[in-house]
Amino acid sequence: MTKMYREQDVNREVFEGKTLAVLGYGSQGRAHALNLRESGFQVRLGLRPEGRSWKKAQADGWEPLPPGEAVVGADLVAILVPDMAQAALYQDYVAPNLKPGAALLFAHGFNVHFKHIQPPKEADVIMVAPKSPGDLVRRQYQQGRGVPCLIAVDQDAGGQAFDRALAYADGLGGTKAGVLQTTFAEETETDLFGEQAVLCGGVTELIRYGYETLVEAGYQPEAAYFECLHELKLIVDLIYEGGFTKMHEFVSETAKYGDLTRGPRVVDASVKANMKEVLTEIQNGTFANEWREENDQGLPHYNKLLNEDLEHPIEQVGKELRSAMAWLKPQMEGAK
């Protein structure tokens, strides 16, 4: 069994009297900054003065600084802005102001692994990646719990990189749930693969094709929506809570027989072969280069595909049906 690090494994002295700079105040940035501050760390926040997060940070009790000022003198700099903004932020504000011997921390290994950011050799380069959205990282911490975290060390310049990563994860609450050591390569490649092949790309395409198959066969769009999208949450929740075992325990025998005999016909060996191609493109940098070029060109292909997704008939049907689901309204209002 792979070792999971817990609270008793943490060397909290590595950050005593040290200053941590958090750059970014989005989903992860806000959760990291607030959790670390409430864990007793000395935290300063670096944001663009004209950015939309500046006032939000002030409302949370921060006195934010421009990014370059926040980096000056900091013993650890957490770069928590979106992937495609990180390289420019690093080049313009972090690299010119980084204290010798400071640690650079990321919540995702993308830019370091694909060498869009190349830190100096004298810097520790570490990663702490909570395995949940930032909002859940924050809520679990406030309830005295935590979410599991991955940690990794890409460069250990001073012999304390691992201890720094683990102590940071502890400050987020991660050691209460368990911290797993990985590498930048493993975290980056598995994360991208999961998003593309299963969690986002795979699931949405499966929903789309299921819906279209029923509607094209003459069934009502509303019925197709319920069967191919709405009820997905019921199954995902069961799997999330107890794996395939709990799902099989709570669905009908008819559903289980259909699962076991028809599922492999829909998602067959050709799907796995396609997944392997997707993984290869992640591993060899094809996807990273393509995504960077797309951003450099102003996202034309991305926007076209996104609009096609958002304009699919299932979206209109779903919007109308969800408007009558009273239990969804508090969640929908909170997501705005």
Which residues fall in the annotated binding site?
25-28, 48, 53, 134, 191, 195, 227, 231, 252
Report residue 257 as tokens: 């027989």
- One of 108, 113, 248, 301 is an active-site residue; which one? 108
Residue 159 buriedness (CB in 10 A; 0-12 / 13-18 / 19+): exposed
Report residue 287 as tokens: 């996807």
Residue (of 315, 293, 311, 312) closest to 302 by Cα position? 293
Residues 6+ apart with CB under 8 A from 161: 103, 124, 125, 126, 153, 155
Single-letter amino acid code for the residue at 239: I
Q: Which residues are annotated as a binding site for substrate?
A: 252
Report residue 214 as tokens: 């029923």
Q: Which residues are annotated as a binding site for NADP(+)?
A: 25-28, 48, 53, 134
- Residue 225 and residue 230: Cα distance in Å, rounded? 6
Report residue 218 as tokens: 């003459």
Residue 193 buriedness (CB in 10 A; 0-12 / 13-18 / 19+): buried
Indicate if 32 belongs to the active site. no
Q: Which residues are catalytic?
A: 108
